């Protein structure tokens, strides 16, 4: 079968299907039974993986595997449940805690790789995403 014949047969089958579907208006009702009076009900089920909360002890941090030339060091702790972090070009780090509804500013004031200051800079219900916009 040559290419033109395949294209013709495919087009014919598609056109026939569309004509058949348009002829029988009840076809769509049987496939989608929802009406204003009786909405379709559905239930979604699944599994949500919830890893165990593990303290960031020196022993636990030492178990982390990172590529050669990289290291993992604790920058801050006692932050609640931070969800998103963003770092500014000046070194300020912001963390949002959705559950607590806060955004925290972390600053390493003496450049030793550990945040010395922790300050709540925003209280927002279900704080989530963060964006740092440079000020002119």
pLDDT digits (tens, 9 = 90+) for 54-107: 888 999 999 999 999 999 999 998 888 888 999 999 899 999 998 899 999 999
CA distance 92 to 88: 5
- Report the Cα 135 to chain-centroid distance in Å: 27
Q: What is the mean pLDDT of the chain?
A: 82
Q: Is 131 helix (H, G, I), strand (E, B) or coil?
A: coil
Domain boundaries in the chain?
Answer: 58-123
pLDDT confidence bin for 31, thresholds 50/70/90: low
What is the arithmetic mean of pLDDT over 26-52?
70
């Amino acid at each position: 079968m040559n290419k033109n014949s395949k294209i013709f047969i495919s087009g014919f089958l598609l056109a026939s299907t569309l004509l058949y579907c348009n002829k029988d208006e009840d076809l769509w009702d049987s496939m989608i039974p929802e009406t204003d009076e009786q909405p379709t009900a559905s239930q979604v089920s699944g599994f949500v993986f919830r890893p165990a909360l593990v303290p960031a002890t020196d022993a636990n941090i030492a178990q982390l595997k990172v590529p050669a030339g990289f290291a993992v060091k604790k920058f801050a702790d006692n932050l609640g449940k931070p969800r998103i972090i963003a770092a500014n070009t000046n070194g300020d780090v912001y963390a949002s805690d959705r559950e607590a509804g806060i955004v925290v500013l972390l600053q390493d004031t003496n450049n030793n790789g550990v945040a010395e200051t922790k300050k709540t800079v925003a209280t927002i219900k279900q704080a989530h995403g963060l964006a740092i916009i440079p000020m002119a």
